[in-house]
Amino acid sequence: MSHTDEPALDPDLFAPYGRLVELEVLGRAVRVPERNSLLRGFQYLSVETISYGDFCWNGDCTNCQFWYREGGQPQDKTALACRFEARDGLVITRLAPQVRIKGVTE
């Protein structure tokens, strides 16, 4: 019998999506659901650390802050992952320390 400590990934967590978008997080290529927030995308990649993380999910705590580039812009911009829709081609260069993603930050 197989056993895992990972909580099951509940499909109801996610807004309906048809495909995964491709982006880069700290140098790693990842795929996360389209039409969902980036924080949901991080949860998709690392259900335990994000589900049990210290996140308000509504733009108040700033614990989900990240820095990113896209389209050749010279300077990083910053945003809140719970308020930002995942999209193709994002290059995420830095994450708030509360954002722990298995396989990326640990």
What is the contact surface with ligand FES in residues (CB under 6 A)? 39, 55-57, 59-64, 80, 82
In angstroms, rounded to a whole number, what is the distance separating the alpha carbons of residues 33 and 8?
Answer: 17
Question: Is the Cβ of residue 15 or residue 19 nearer to ligand FES in the bound state?
Answer: 15
Question: Is the Cβ of residue 57 or residue 67 nearer to ligand FES in the bound state?
Answer: 57
Question: Is the Cβ of residue 93 or residue 98 nearer to ligand FES in the bound state?
Answer: 98
In angstroms, rounded to a whole number, what is the distance separating the alpha carbons of residues 33 and 74?
Answer: 27
Query: Exposed, middle or buried by CB within 10 Å (0-12, 13-18, 19+), for 82?
Result: buried
Tell me how far, at minimum, the Cβ of 98 lies from ligand FES, in Å.
Answer: 8
